[in-house]
Chain A
Amino acid sequence: SAVISQKPSRDICQRGTSLTIQCQVDSQVTMMFWYRQQPGQSLTLIATANQGSEATYESGFVIDKFPISRPNLTFSTLTVSNMSPEDSSIYLCSASTGVGYEQYFGPGTRLTVT
């Protein structure tokens, strides 16, 4: 298994600003992912963070709005850019040790945009 930490755990941000969320895994993993969980809803995959190359985004999510970095096998960041109140959500990082394997989740970052 993998233990995942995220920073910050929560933040309140103003409209138009950007926030970068950090995700750290305690061991080397193959895959890292970013999800959004809006209040009362399920998890939606934003993108797969690829080490050393551009992230793979899901339909409805674009790099300009959610730039992602993954400089090594244990760390990734997600930036929520030019925020609006609609971006208020919980952002979750996950990791797995192989394609199709179970994913381990971080505690999430609760973002509120005012």
Chain B
Amino acid sequence: AQSVSQHNHHVILSEAASLELGCNYSYGGTVNLFWYVQYPGQHLQLLLKYFSGDPLVKGIKGFEAEFIKSKFSFNLRKPSVQWSDTAEYFCAVNARNTDKLIFGTGTRLQVFP
């Protein structure tokens, strides 16, 4: 069965620090990959997605993620975080041509001024 692992459960950073959140999935076939963000008191929003093509994808608010097929990974990065990036971040995967989205356990990011 498919599964998604997010290794960092809680990350605390100061503003301007660099961020990398890990995401690994288990599925041998072709996948679509997503990062969602949930700001405090708000609903889930799509941060970025990878379907095909350039494995380095850019999303909103300066976030990017790199798909490394050989490592089954889709890590999220941001060079310099802001206090407003404080949120819960979820990695999600679905097998190509299926409608089932599998979520990781989430990473809570706290950014202090």
Contacts and interface: CB of A to CB of B under 8 A. Distances in A.
Nearest to B6: A42
Contacts of A104: 46
Contacts, number: 49
A92 B97 CA distance: 23
Interface residues of B, number: 24
Contact of A100 (B32, B45, B102): B32
Interface residues on A, range: 20 to 34
Contacts of B94: 100
Contacts of B42: 107
Interface string A38-52: 000111110010000
A92 B101 contact: no
B43 interface: yes
Query: What 10 A-B pairs come out closest when comparing CB atoms?
Result: A105-B44, A107-B43, A43-B103, A42-B103, A42-B105, A99-B99, A100-B32, A42-B106, A102-B46, A31-B99
